[in-house]
Structure 1
Amino acid sequence: MNHIDIQKSFWKGTLVISGAALFVKVLSAFYRIPYQNIAGDLGLYVYQQVYPFYAIAFALSMYGFPLMLSKMVSEDENNQFKNTLTTTLIGLSSFFILVFFLLHSFSPMIAKAMNDLLLVQPLRMASYSFLFVPFLSVARGFFQGRENMGPTAISQVAEQFVRVAMILILTIWLVSAGADQYLVGTAAVFGGLAGSLVSVFVLILFLRKQEVRIEAYGRLSLRKTMKMMGSLLKGGIAICITAVMLALFQLIDALQVVPGLKASGMEVLDAKVNKGIFDRGQPLLQLGTVIATAMALPLIPFIAKSKQDKDYERINVFTGLSLKFSFIIGGAAAVGLAVIIVPTNIFLYEDGNGSAALGILGVAILFGSLAITSSAILQGLGKISYPVIFILSAVLLKAALNTFLLPIYGISGAALTTVISTAFVALCNLIVVHRMTNVFHVQRFYSGKVILSLILMAIATSLWKELWFFFETEGSRVAAGFAAVSSSLLGALVYMVSLVYLNVWKYEEIIMLPKGKHLVKWLYKERSSENG
């Protein structure tokens, strides 16, 4: 296979994994909207209290360990990969059985810390998700190490599709049967486990098709085994932390919001409902950062390869372009959501409760996008420890700020601490990225022009939204939906035209984007002919 074929194979595999991950992210964000419509804010509260534990297990089996294992398999020169896989399967199984046992046993203590002992059963159900991590990680790591991305992508999509379908089917059935919200939440977590089980079956079918058996042909020494497992756990957990930054912030809120609201004098039931209202923002935050995530995934191996080739110019170009894209898209999503949050809230969740808090939370889309992209850049440069340290520091920062702001400002305070924490990670990451690449001196970001475009977009969107609401007096969900969608489309058009008119995008940058030649013809008709 020549160099060109290898490069094509590399990009094809990367795009397959990125496409699957994008689909998974969108589906994961979308289903919580109908779930809230069916189960209500209290039902969403129950599910979101335990969701971070599932999200961590999911990330470990999807991002963390498969990436580390694929590297081990691809670098194997003595054809000992089956021995490696067997050893890691036994090691990971032992570790995660312990994790399962601890989480299952300490569920009452965690529920007590959340100020809700009724969460014990949903938490115990979530603990089972860690039992699937070893096999999923080893199987996906094996296929990715052999540059076969199909099984990983198909298993991810199948897992998420079954999970979402099971969650919604079980929720509709139980709510119609009059079940309480805690049973509904437990069933929703069970839906996630069903998805993981399907993913296991899919991977087993691929392994059997290739006649692969994970078995040992020799014995690794205890020293080598401990060294391998230490490296695997350290690297896998580090990668996972960068992938679940927002879920870690959700975990802090799960532990602090209800007790904090209760401390402010709110009744326990009202505090739980308010937490559910606050959790409405999580799908919006996840959808807002999904583009940055989709860009970040293929960025890691590309920058790593550029660093290996010592092609620093290419690193600077793609680092600058990805950060610029995250800034432009993340800024638009954050500002746009803040302007249309009231009709969006009514359209998606039937009422406008908590719109102020959700509008504040939307600002985290900008900083979250920059944090995710910059973390991927640092990971590609081999500096994974930096974003891990920054994210863990941000978790502590959020916990400290919640203690002060929650009793005073309620869920708006929790939203503000998320914004501050994501901004902290983004700023720290960007400082390190600049020190390593000098990207802000090499690349131009036209920040002033982008901010001017955001202001113009906000003005146009706000005027259209207010004009629509002036003539529409019913305040129905359909009317709110039209106002939200039409305002966002108008805002996007104004923003795009402004960016083009102010020359924020360079000709060569647009060419590098997907379908770049078509975009140039549409946006820069005259310039394309001059540059042609």
Structure 2
Amino acid sequence: MDNDTQTSITSESNSQSKASLIKGSAWMTAGSIFSRILGAIYVIPWNNWFGSLLTAKLANSLFGKGYNIYSLFLIISTAGIPGAISKQIAHYNAINEYATGNKLFKQGLKIMAITGVITAAVMYFGAPVLAVILSGGDQNVVPVLRALSWALLIIPIMSIVRGYFQGYEQMAPSAISQFIEQVARVIYILAATYFIMKVQKGSYINAVAQSTFAAFIGAIFGLGILIIYFIKQLPRLRKLSQGSNNEVDTSGQNFFVEIWSQALPFIILDSGIILFQIFDQQTFNFMMNTVQHLSTDTLNALYALFSFNTNKIIMIIVSLSTALAVTAVPLLSAAYSRHDAKDVNEQIGSTLQLFFLVMIPSALGMYAVAKPLYILFYRYDQLGIYILQFNSIIAILLALFTVLSAILQGLYQNGLAIKYFLVGFGVKIIAQYPCIYFFHTFGPLLATGIGMLVTSILMFRLLQTKFGFDINQTIRRTFGILLLSVFMLVVVILIDWIGYHFISPDNRILSVALLVVEVIVGALIYSYLILKVRIAEKIVGPKIATLRRKLHIK
């Protein structure tokens, strides 16, 4: 094969990889964003039904504590296997070994069923002990943990089926099932909470427990959608399996060891943000109490401000990185398996640039609209608004860690990715008390940001030294994105400042109207600028150029 032909094939392969990244990211972003928005919007009536602002904060604190522990168990129960399955199936598909990938998937299903039952049982029966160890002895967490444990029976199986589709670069089944899962969950949350708080005039603890049981209801619906997709695609999947090379000898192959060797790094790295949050959960009340002597209810209310209230909102934009990470892993794994160094580097650059193109304006935009946004969800609270603004910036580092760790896993750099995470976590532990001492409620977020920044810098250095990733283009484009985003930020903040000269922050309806105006103006400004300077088409591709011409932007 001559050099021109080889170059043409490589260029076509790189173009297809980029197109797959864009398409897959679009599906996963849509699924994540809609799910996160639903998961945040329900909070508006949910908080109102608890009556007083203090009771609402206590309910949020309890919900957050239970969910942090549940999230850790969920990651353990899924054992990183969905990500590992996605990665390994993409690897086998790239070398036309579909049948081997199917055998791997079947073994994964068995493992998921077993680990789901075990972790659900441990969480249900061990809830009193877990409340002491991981939640500072708050026994109100016990019924919440028991309600959440039921979901562990379903979600591991659902997750591995999603991983299977992602290995085939099919993101639509995952995105749609994720959305349906969230719809069912939110409907149950609202119905149960309304019945307990408004009809029965019951306890907020029971309402929170039923709200968390909704995870089980949502999981049933989500799995049902995936099964329907799987049945529809079964003939095509069988045909691909029959056309496999079958050159891989699986007679002595230990799929159990292969799955777990790939899954363990996903467990640790997927737990990253959750471990940071659990550390906050364990240390905040004690450390804060040494700085300011406050009642338990006041400490729990302050904890709710950054751990639940603002975290619930910023996770909407952090989910953007999760969508990119899920899409990037199988694509990078396939390129790495083909020993295509050029495609690997282009995939890294495309993933990071697409991430910054969306994440930076989203974070700065949330900073700009923090006041009306917080009022919409939780009513006016100046401290809560400041924390949301600060958390919006920290969200960039949380999301960057998610994307970079996914890139390293896709490139089989699991050990170093874990090492760098542990270094960052160690920095977080060291910085926690000084940050709380000087910055009080902002302290845990600042310590998290410092830890995540250290981890991200180490990961960037690895991509440069080991894979020869040229970061210069990414830096130039990111700087351009930052300048455009800051311009948008200034304009929206000015609108916000003018708006609140004429309306009261206690007026929720007018605050929502102002929020809509600010979001529309900010989105239009940023969209126009990235089309005008043509940075969007450089990152996303020629389809954006077509859009620019249709809008008559020169």
TM over 0.5: yes
**Structure 1 residue 191 and structure 2 residue 219: aligned?**
no
1:36 alignment partner AA: N
- Work out the CA distance in 2 between the residues paired with 1:328 and 1:496: 11
1:198 alignment partner AA: F
- Work out the CA distance in 2 between the residues paired with 1:252 and 1:61: 20
Secondary structure at the counterpart of residue 266 of structure 2: helix
Equivalent pair of 2:73/2:119 in contact (CA under 8 Å): no
Structure 1 residues 25 and 58, CA, compared in 2 at 3 Å: closer, same or farther?
Answer: farther
417-426 vs 306-315, which moves further: 306-315
Structure 1 residues 73 and 445, CA, compared in 2 at 3 Å: closer, same or farther?
Answer: closer
Q: CA deviation at 1:190?
A: 0.6
| Equivalent in the alignment of 1:24 | 35
| Equivalent in the alignment of 2:284 | 257
Q: CA deviation at 1:268?
A: 0.6
Provide Cα deviations, 1:9-62, integer angstroms capped at 9, x if missing partner. 978778656654454344344444543344422111111111123334555788
Structure 1 residues 249 and 285, CA, compared in 2 at 3 Å: closer, same or farther?
Answer: farther
- Work out the CA distance in 2 between the residues paired with 1:112 and 1:396: 23
| Equivalent in the alignment of 1:528 | none
Q: CA deviation at 1:187?
A: 0.8
Q: CA deviation at 1:509?
A: 0.7
Equivalent pair of 1:56/1:240 in contact (CA under 8 Å): no
Structure 1 residues 291 and 520, CA, compared in 2 at 3 Å: closer, same or farther?
Answer: farther
- Work out the CA distance in 2 between the residues paired with 1:491 and 1:485: 10
Structure 1 residues 78 and 272, CA, compared in 2 at 3 Å: closer, same or farther?
Answer: closer
Equivalent pair of 2:147/2:209 in contact (CA under 8 Å): yes
Q: CA deviation at 1:193?
A: 1.3
1:268 alignment partner AA: T
Provide Cα deviations, 1:316-361, integer angstroms capped at 9, x if missing partner. 3443343234334333233333343233222221112422222211
Q: CA deviation at 1:518?
A: 0.4
Match for residue 273 of structure 2 among 219, 222, 246: 246
Match for residue 149 of structure 2 among 127, 139, 144: 127
Secondary structure at the counterpart of residue 184 of structure 1: helix
Equivalent pair of 1:370/1:426 in contact (CA under 8 Å): yes
Match for residue 336 of structure 1 among 365, 368, 372: 365
Structure 1 residues 187 and 260, CA, compared in 2 at 3 Å: closer, same or farther?
Answer: farther
**Structure 1 residue 438 and structure 2 residue 469: aligned?**
yes
Q: TM-score, normalization: structure 1? A: 0.81
2:493 alignment partner AA: S
| Equivalent in the alignment of 2:515 | 484
In the alignment, structure 1 segments of 5+ residues that lack a partner are 213-222, 526-532
| Equivalent in the alignment of 2:183 | 161
- Work out the CA distance in 1 between the residues paired with 2:31 and 2:461: 31
Match for residue 457 of structure 1 among 481, 485, 488: 488
Q: CA deviation at 1:468?
A: 1.6
- Work out the CA distance in 2 between the residues paired with 1:395 and 1:454: 30
465-474 vs 61-70, which moves further: 61-70
**Structure 1 residue 182 and structure 2 residue 182: aligned?**
no
| Equivalent in the alignment of 1:233 | 260
2:46 alignment partner AA: Y
Q: CA deviation at 1:449?
A: 4.4
2:149 alignment partner AA: S
1:293 alignment partner AA: T
Structure 1 residues 437 and 128, CA, compared in 2 at 3 Å: closer, same or farther?
Answer: farther
Q: CA deviation at 1:205?
A: 5.8
| Equivalent in the alignment of 2:129 | 109
**Structure 1 residue 273 and structure 2 residue 301: aligned?**
yes
Map 1:16-415 onto structure 2 (within 5 A).
Answer: 19-39=30-50, 40-56=56-72, 64-69=80-85, 75=92, 87-113=107-133, 114-115=135-136, 116-137=138-159, 139-140=161-162, 152-176=174-198, 177-203=200-226, 227-263=254-290, 264-278=292-306, 279-352=308-381, 353-406=383-436, 408-415=438-445
Q: CA deviation at 1:483?
A: 3.1
Provide Cα deviations, 1:463-490, integer angstroms capped at 9, x if missing partner. 2221222233574112222333333443
Structure 1 residues 326 and 147, CA, compared in 2 at 3 Å: closer, same or farther?
Answer: closer
1:479 alignment partner AA: L
Q: CA deviation at 1:312?
A: 3.5
Secondary structure at the counterpart of residue 154 of structure 2: helix
464-473 vs 42-51, which moves further: 464-473
User: How many corresponding residue pairs?
Assistant: 511
- Work out the CA distance in 1 between the residues paired with 2:482 and 2:342: 28
Equivalent pair of 2:84/2:262 in contact (CA under 8 Å): yes
- RMSD of aligned C-alpha atoms? 3.9
364-373 vs 394-403, which moves further: 394-403
Provide Cα deviations, 1:282-315, integer angstroms capped at 9, x if missing partner. 1222112233333333222223333344443444
Structure 1 residues 13 and 355, CA, compared in 2 at 3 Å: closer, same or farther?
Answer: closer
Equivalent pair of 2:375/2:511 in contact (CA under 8 Å): yes
In the alignment, structure 2 segments of 5+ residues that lack a partner are 1-8, 51-55, 238-250
- Work out the CA distance in 1 between the residues paired with 2:324 and 2:274: 19
- Work out the CA distance in 1 between the residues paired with 2:353 and 2:221: 39
| Equivalent in the alignment of 1:216 | none
Q: CA deviation at 1:401?
A: 2.8
Equivalent pair of 2:33/2:319 in contact (CA under 8 Å): yes
- Work out the CA distance in 2 between the residues paired with 1:466 and 1:142: 49
Provide Cα deviations, 1:252-308, integer angstroms capped at 9, x if missing partner. 222222333344311011111222222211122211223333333322222333334
390-399 vs 189-198, which moves further: 390-399
Identity of aligned residues (%): 20
